[in-house]
A and B are shown apart, each in its own frame.
Chain A
Amino acid sequence: MAETEVSKKRKRPIVRLAVLLLSHSVLVSVICCTAGVFGLLLLPVLAKNTYISENALMPGSASSMLSNQEVSEANKLIKELNNLHSNPLGATTESHGIIAKYMSNLGAQVNNHKFHPQLNQFHPLHFFSGPDSGVMQENSTRSLYGINTVGIIRAPRGDGKEAIVLVTPYNAVKGGVRETLSLGIAYSVFSLLTRVTWLAKDIIWLVADSQYGEYAPVAAWLRDYHTPAFSNLDSLNTETCHVGNNNFESKISYGIRRSGTMAAALVLGVAYGNENEDTLGIYAEASNGQMPNLDLINIVHYLAVHRQGLRVKVEQFHWLLNSKWVKSLGEVFESLGKMVKTLNPDWKLGISAADYVEGAATLASSLYHQALGVPTGPHGAFRDYQVDAITLEFSLRISFDRLDRRNDFLLHGGRINGLLGGITLFHF
């Protein structure tokens, strides 16, 4: 008996601690789990507002200067494209011609990009694609192809090392007013950017043909941009398109035009909103839960809220917004925060219950999408090339049929332009 006691005494304290923990493993795991869940629930309370030094970035210094001329031109483009929908047969090729014509009228360099969609484009274990990746299974999809239209503005004083990509998915066959409207916004932004002299980076506008989903065209364009085919054998862009009877059509090259390294990408979309305000939705999760540089999201958020007066809505779980227990939890935290504040007014822990609920819903949605690992939009394709990208989705109160309303909406292009200006400056 005495011997065992001596041996017990000689055990090192860390071992004894481990033995103790193991013997109460259930209790310990329950405690850890609750602590984890509690920590998760506490996160919205602890979240701090991100600080952006305005002097360092001057994100809002690019003031929006969108004039009526741009808006009316954008409207003309929308009208022309909408008229095409009545005749769905020739709509595909003609719409490319129209978009390309508008782009080159602005002085941009335009080219078309033909691609075969890759149907099984998502690989869960495919983190970064190397230079030799992206070999397509061609034969099965030979007959199917889509055409992206790409326009590039060279920054007048820049050195062309970097570029910012603007993507608008557009389906010429099935795309409704919604998609033409997003084209209109992108056009007005683009036309404004051709005039400004402060651009530090080139701007690439990619009108992605979303017949085969929104992800595939962007991914195909990125793949061809980064791994061009020099030899005739495996390139399909050299085939000339004989469908277009338009004279202008023949002038557009099918070879990829390049700018510099991509610094950031923005995907623009328009959604029918059913809310009371015009809102801006931000989607950021890429494949395998990868996130872009959060500065990009912060800048967009900051500019949208503080400069442009938009209501920003980062993706949320809506059922959480209405759930009772989150609300009551938020109230508990609110009262706790108030109590803490009476103890020491310097401690700023309390947030209002509504804020808490919103934060929790955003957090849950982000957790869910990151865990799921499926990109939430075409911006996911950029992440494979380590380009920061987010999707911006504008949603509106009223339908777009009324013209004045549409003009008003297009003037929002100015706001996006402010955003873009900020981003170019930020990435300078």
Chain B
Amino acid sequence: MQIEASLWNASWATDGGRMQISLSYAPFEARYRGFDVARCSVDKSSDMNQCYASHYWWNEVKKFRVKEMELSFTQGRWRYEQWGGFDPLSSNNAKPPGVELWAVFDVPQSLVDVYWRNLTHTLSGLFCASINFLESSTTYSAPELTFKPSFGNLRYGTLPREAVCTENLTPWLKLLPCRDKAGLSALMDRPSIYRGFYHSQRLRLTSSESGSDEVDSGIGLEQTLTVVLQPSSWRTGKTYSVETNIQPSWSISSIFGRNIPGKCVIAKSSNVYLHLDNGLVGELKNLERENAKYVANTFESEGFQSNHAFKISVTPDKVFEEVDYLHGKSTSVIYGFSVEKYSDSQPFDLGLTWKIPVVWSCQQAPLHASRFLMGSGNERGAIAISLESTESSEGLPTSHIIDGRCELRVDIFQVVPWYIKVYFHTLQVFVDKQPRAMADVVDKIRVSPSKDKVSPGVMEMILKLPCGSKSAAFSLEFDKGFLHIDEYPPDANQGFDIPSALISFPSFNARMNFSEDEFLNNSPILSKFQETSPVLSYTEVLLIPLTTPDFSMPYNVITITCTVFALYFGSLLNVLRRRVDEEERILRSRAGRKAGWISQLLSRLSAKLRGRPQEQPTSSLPYSFISFRLVLKILLVASIAVTWQYYFG
């Protein structure tokens, strides 16, 4: 608790300058009179909700009874082929583009939807995003099988089209103890973050309370910002035919344009880690082995700090090596740097300079998933998910052996909006390019078909693929539905997004094993890496072109109806207030006057139209002439054809 006072020397505060403040009496002593804290007193028995204040997170969580929640804002796509798909970093932090939100509630099932709705509204306000669109039941779903073990109290929703920008980052930064003013978060320079290829800000909340009056109830808030940045000397692809191209060197200041000026004062620990992944370490070891004569044992003792491949500008405080108990393959290395000893005058600026070109590839998820659309036209189409084995999966002793058969378990979770009417019975399965019966491959499937304008279609599948299979493909046919005119999003002509499908491999664990160390337990990120979590990957967002109406149509309809109504009422009023005798009298008097030839002509024409007898009889066509004219016409057409043929044929 803290009370602050401030001194004001402005005219409004000093009674028009009569009671000036003399700073020579400093230091000042403040006395408070009639001091009263507008507090909220809570008895053990009464409801906590009356002390609710919306600007505190913990109150939100308590109010909405959130057990666990994760919210992510992502821009760009995670490229699993280039940036890896197996390590905890990509499994935990790669998210689908746009907004993804899931939450587990600690309420009875009948109330979950109500709490979810309230939560989306609150988050929408807090993060300046359109998360409130997740309120409608057409946008969220309740996965049970594949996403997370849950008992009907989990809700999951995504907004693939949400554009992420600084106004979403600022509220996120506000939750940090020092915002972006000090410590590690000083690096979060907006332009450099948004210049990157991919950024994803994630917020995860876990509440460990089991009852409202439990003493050890607590809320854990975990914030992660994942950014893939481009070194300033970066160039896409290889430079022309220059194969000996050294990968770009980088430093924190060159990437972010800022340094780390020491730690945030109230931070418990503040560390920077540099992770060399498996492929790179393996590649480096090979290089070491080649040059083993003079750099024997450097790896064991110093962990690459003084190797001939690269140079790190700051000496690491700690070096962690991943321990692979199963087989002695190359494992990753993490360098830990503590920021605590750095300050404004001597900022922390980590840099890595490459000396020789090294080519390595990241560890891939066992199967590379991609999803695409099939078919054309505005009526129907098909969604296809194709899984292709990656090279890295072959050497992994990963698959479960059940009943003497080697099987690979793959979970697929796919949400489809209601206007894409998926026919789940059309599910076709191909393994290794051979059509297979569904029962052979699909272990468990849970389908909740979409209801028009009520709920999206959800498909959850647990697959058991044979181990050696090189590829698997699934296709589902769908019809495209129609929307009401005000249900179309802005820029509907671009198409409609189908959220990413989630592919997980529960039999693979994306975790790192480090040799036991006390330091590890103090570091949240490393202990996070050690947690067992399945390998996840998200597929691309699909864009489906739907039929869109002409959006000016309603206005045209309104205009036309209004015109018709105006005409109708006008004529009706005219009829109602017309006096018949008067009109005839006027007409007669007008006829008495001499009419000009134009009016005579007009009256004659009108007489003709009215069907009164007229002077000249209507000239009826003599029928004998028709055949002659027909012949003439045919001749004309024929001659045109001949000339055409002659000149241009």
Contact = CB atoms under 8 A, between A and B. Distances in A.
Interface of A: 5, 8-9, 11, 13, 16-17, 20, 23, 26, 69, 73, 105-108, 128-131, 154, 156-162, 194-195, 197, 226-228, 230-232, 235, 238, 258, 260-261, 319, 384-386, 427
Contacts of A159: 76-77, 97, 540-541
Contacts of A20: 608-609, 618
B611 A230 contact: no
18 contacts: A20-B618, A105-B240, A106-B236, A107-B237, A128-B378, A129-B377, A130-B376, A131-B374, A156-B230, A156-B236, A157-B196, A158-B76, A159-B77, A195-B237, A258-B372, A384-B376, A385-B376, A386-B545
B209 interface: no
A157 B238 CA distance: 18
Residue among A9, A128, A160 with max Cβ neighbours from chain B (10 Å): A160
Contacts of A16: 609-611
Contacts of A160: 77, 540-541
A260 B545 CA distance: 11
Contacts of A261: 373, 495, 542-545
Contacts of B79: 154
Interface string B603-620: 000001111110000111
A186 B66 CA distance: 55
B596 interface: no
Contact of B237 (A69, A108, A157, A384): A108
Given A9-B611, A17-B609, A231-B430, A194 B236 contact: yes
Nearest to B429: A230
Task: Please give me the 5 A-B residue pairs with the lowest Cβ-Cβ distance, nearest first.
Answer: A107-B237, A131-B375, A230-B430, A161-B543, A385-B376
Interface string B492-532: 00110100000000000000000000000000000000000
Interface stretch (B42-50, B353-361, B380-388, B581-589): B380-388
Interface in B615-649: 618-621, 648
A226 B376 contact: yes
Given A73-B240, A194-B237, A230-B428, A238 B377 contact: no
B468 interface: no
Given A5-B613, A194-B236, 7 more contacts: A8-B612, A9-B611, A128-B376, A157-B76, A157-B197, A159-B76, A228-B374
B270 interface: no
B611 A161 contact: no
Contacts of A195: 235-237
Contacts of A427: 494
B435 A23 contact: no
A161 B430 CA distance: 25
A73 B240 CA distance: 8
Contacts of A385: 376
Contacts of B378: 128, 386
Interface string B137-166: 000000000000000000000000000000
A23 B620 CA distance: 7
Contacts of A227: 374-375
Given A69-B240, A130-B377, A232 B434 contact: yes
B542 A161 contact: yes
A119 to B, nearest CB: 22
Given A9-B611, A11-B611, A129-B376, A23 B618 contact: yes
Given A161-B542, A227-B374, A105 B76 contact: no
A238 B236 CA distance: 30
A42 to B, nearest CB: 23
A161 B235 contact: no
Contacts of A156: 197, 230, 236
Contacts of A161: 495, 497, 540-543
B626 to A, nearest CB: 10
A9 B612 contact: yes
Interface in B353-408: 370, 372-382, 384, 386
B473 A131 contact: no
Contacts of B235: 195
B444 interface: no
Nearest to A222: B376
Contacts of B377: 128-131, 386
A156 B79 CA distance: 10
Residue among B77, B236, B428, B543 with max Cβ neighbours from chain A (10 Å): B236
Contacts of B237: 105-108, 194-195
Contacts of B77: 158-160
A160 B80 CA distance: 13
A23 B497 CA distance: 59
Nearest to B74: A159
B433 interface: yes
A131 B497 contact: no
B623 to A, nearest CB: 13
Contacts of A17: 609
A328 to B, nearest CB: 19
Contacts of B370: 258
B433 A238 contact: yes
Interface string B202-239: 00000000000000000000000000001000011110
B41 interface: no
A231 B434 contact: yes
Contact of B433 (A105, A128, A194, A232): A232
A131 B495 CA distance: 18
A335 B540 CA distance: 61
Contacts of A131: 374-377, 380-382, 477
Nearest to A385: B376
Given A13-B609, A161-B543, A231 B433 contact: yes
Contacts of A130: 375-377, 379-380
Contacts of B196: 157
A386 B494 CA distance: 12
A106 B239 CA distance: 7
A386 to B, nearest CB: 7
Residue among A8, A105, A128 with max Cβ neighbours from chain B (10 Å): A105
Interface in B334-358: none
Interface string B541-567: 111110000000000000000000000
B241 interface: yes
B433 A235 contact: yes
A78 B77 CA distance: 35
Residue among B370, B375, B435, B648 with max Cβ neighbours from chain A (10 Å): B375
A105 B545 CA distance: 34
A73 B238 CA distance: 13
B90 interface: no
B75 interface: yes
A275 to B, nearest CB: 22
Contacts of A107: 236-238
A9 B540 CA distance: 74
Contacts of B428: 230
B72 interface: no
Given A69-B240, A385-B376, A228 B544 contact: no
Nearest to B433: A232
B368 to A, nearest CB: 12
B475 interface: yes
Residue among A16, A161, A384 with max Cβ neighbours from chain B (10 Å): A161
Nearest to B540: A160
Nearest to B495: A261
Contacts of A258: 370, 372
A13 B370 CA distance: 68
B473 A230 contact: yes
Residue among B230, B376, B612 with max Cβ neighbours from chain A (10 Å): B376
Contacts of B545: 261, 386
Interface string B242-284: 0000000000000000000000000000000000000000000
Nearest to B98: A159
Contacts of B384: 228, 230
Nearest to B382: A131
Nearest to A317: B648
